[in-house]
């Protein structure tokens, strides 16, 4: 599982890196959805201007119901709340039925932070800090702008 985790998170980081600097005030996030048997189901990165969010895009691009045991690999903690009033990424992952979420960097934004707690309270396994050193550069400017 460790190699699959590394490969999937590195792909998520690659997706986020490709959008870095194109997402307006929002951070560039990458998300990869993987089946329990190691198939890549879908992926996404934060859209130009900051929307849609990576998780939203990856979930929307996958047609049908996610297979049991799906893991979401996300470079930044899935948001707890959206400024637009849309469903948060943490709630989208919960409703989609993911079994596990692997996060690289924890969010410090007041509306973003707390997604981990929402996911945990839904009974979903969540691991944080995975390949954090490789993804941290993506969020330096975003966190600095929070003051």
Q: Among this protein's residues, is 55 annotated catalytic?
A: yes
Q: In terms of DSSP bridges, do strands 71-76 and 40-45 run parallel, antiparallel, or are they unpaired?
A: unpaired
Per residue in 17-65, pLDDT tens? 999 999 999 999 999 999 999 999 999 999 999 999 999 999 999 988 9
Catalytic residue among 6, 43, 55, 133: 55
Q: How many domains does the chain have?
A: 1
CATH of residue 47's domain is: 3.40.140.10
Nearest to 129 by CA among 74, 58, 59, 72: 74
Per residue in 115-135, pLDDT tens? 999 999 999 999 999 999 999
Give the domain extent around 140: 2-144
pTM over 0.95? The answer is yes
The continuous run of DSSP H or E covering 40 comes out as strand 40-45
- Tell me how far apart the alpha carbons of residues 46 and 90 are, in angstroms, rounded to a whole number: 15
């Amino acid at each position: 599982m460790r190699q699959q985790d590394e490969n999937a998170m590195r792909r998520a980081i690659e997706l986020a890196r490709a959008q870095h600097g194109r997402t307006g005030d929002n951070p560039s996030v990458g998300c990869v959805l993987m089946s329990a048997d190691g198939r890549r189901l879908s992926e996404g990165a934060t859209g130009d201007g900051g929307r849609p969010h990576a998780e939203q895009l990856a979930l929307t691009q996958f047609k049908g119901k996610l297979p049991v045991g799906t893991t979401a690999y996300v470079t930044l903690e899935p948001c707890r709340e959206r400024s637009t009033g849309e469903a948060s990424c943490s709630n989208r992952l919960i409703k989609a039925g993911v079994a596990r979420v692997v996060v690289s960097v924890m969010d410090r934004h007041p509306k973003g932070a707390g997604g981990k707690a929402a996911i945990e309270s839904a009974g979903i396994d969540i691991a944080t800090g995975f390949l954090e050193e490789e993804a941290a550069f993506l969020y330096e400017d975003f966190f600095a702008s929070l003051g």
